[in-house]
Chains A and B, each alone.
Chain A
Amino acid sequence: MPQLKESPSQTAGPYVHIGCTPQMAGLEARAMGPQLGERMVLGSPTGDRITLDLHVFDGAGDAVTDALIEIWQPTPQGQFTGDDQFCNWGRQATDLTSGQAVFQTLKPGAPVGQAPHILVWIVARGIGLGLTTRIYFPDEDNADDPVLALAGDRAATLIARKTAGGYAHAVHLQGPSETVFFDV
């Protein structure tokens, strides 16, 4: 079998919204299907509804206002297969002014052999290859998670903060509190 090399990655650029979150680009009048990934809670699924409030910061401490964030997570039962009530995948752009990205989702359960977590994938202008990180929860037992353990003394950069309605998390692209990004 021939081995083909992966196509090279290129930055999503500052106009990623046109393709991935079209209404943020002012394309609301377009005659296309619905925006994908906007809603994760589709019906009345079993589980705890949470608001996940994300920010991405650059090396100067400024909020990144042109990032696209995708999340992929298990159901509250720890499964990666959703149904007509819940979609395990969500996609939001950071707000063009504030840099905030808000996901309405369900608190994930623990997949086999891992603590509850959410995969986070970030692309933006200035990012040549999408960055993969994770979010863990401060109110879960993370002691035996094999991935979090690899992060050692930087593990705190992967743990969200509890808020009134769910969790908040800041991703730092560079600097002293730089988030752990994975080579998966």
Chain B
Amino acid sequence: MDDTPFAPRDFSVHPPPLWPDYRSTHLRAPQQPLLQMPQTQTEMTGPTFGHAALGPLDSDLIVNYAAAGQSAQGPRILVHGKLLDGQGRAVPGKLIEVWQANAGGRYRHVNDGYLAPLDDNFGGCGRCITAPDGSFAFRTVQPGPYPWPNGGNDWRPAHIHFSVFGDGFAQRLITQMYFEGDPHIARCPIAQSIPDAAALDRLVARLDMDRTVAMDIRAYRFDIVLRGRQATVFENKPQGT
């Protein structure tokens, strides 16, 4: 285990607890500031997951809920990228989970009653373990934008939810991936709750023609950065003494 503590969290890239334009924060945002504490063994450690925890089709949402010989409806896409730490190093062996609406913007969930129909062949859940070079990939269909109750005419940009584990619980992260060129990103109070435009831009996946497979599937590139560790302090010993 790496015993180097994690660097203090940079809150400038994260949504503040209370964001008035996002109505659900009103009663759920803590009013007291977070209490700073030193990292202990509890936060420096976290669960590990092996491939045995996953099923063989977990990273292929096109077929992992489909009937035999069938596949999900919608634009076929490969979402891929690297899991990196704050020093830009690959983070291998970590669990990534994704969930999303179908191509019409409808979730397979008891509480989603949107007009768009369910797709019998699409569940919307995927999982994988990052490879030795930190890379991950999911095959899925591009989700549709969907309306949501926020007091007005609010539509979520097309997005895929990501849950990511790191080495320690202090790195645990849930986020969302958006798609390049989506005009709803600029209008979405959830996306816009990120205080820094450059930070939000890092959640926007880019069309990647290098990984796009002709006559088969388009690729989108999305890298994820976990909270980094404190810089290692090297003793500055003069040479030859």
Contact = CB atoms under 8 A, between A and B. Distances in A.
Nearest to B66: A31
Contacts of A142: none
Interface residues of B, dominant DSSP: loop
Nearest to B24: A126
Interface residues of B, number: 88
A26 B106 CA distance: 14
Contacts of B33: 183
B39 interface: yes
Contacts of A17: 109
B46 to A, nearest CB: 6
B108 A18 contact: yes
A9 B28 contact: no
A31 B10 contact: no
Nearest to A1: B87
B155 interface: no
Interface string B151-179: 00000000001010000011011111000
A69 to B, nearest CB: 12
A10 B175 contact: yes
B209 interface: no
A15 B10 contact: no
Interface stretch (A46-54, A160-168, A172-180): A172-180
Interface residues of A, dominant DSSP: loop
Interface stretch (B72-80, B195-203, B212-220): B195-203
Given A9-B174, A183-B34, A3 B15 contact: no
Contacts of B97: 19-20
B4 interface: no
Given A128-B22, A174-B27, 4 more contacts: A4-B86, A9-B14, A36-B53, A147-B40
The 10 residue pairs across chains A and B that have the minimum distance between CB atoms:
A19-B99, A128-B15, A126-B24, A33-B55, A89-B47, A126-B28, A183-B34, A18-B99, A59-B27, A10-B176
17 contacts: A4-B86, A5-B199, A15-B109, A15-B112, A18-B125, A19-B126, A29-B65, A30-B64, A30-B65, A60-B27, A89-B46, A119-B42, A128-B22, A129-B11, A147-B37, A174-B29, A183-B35
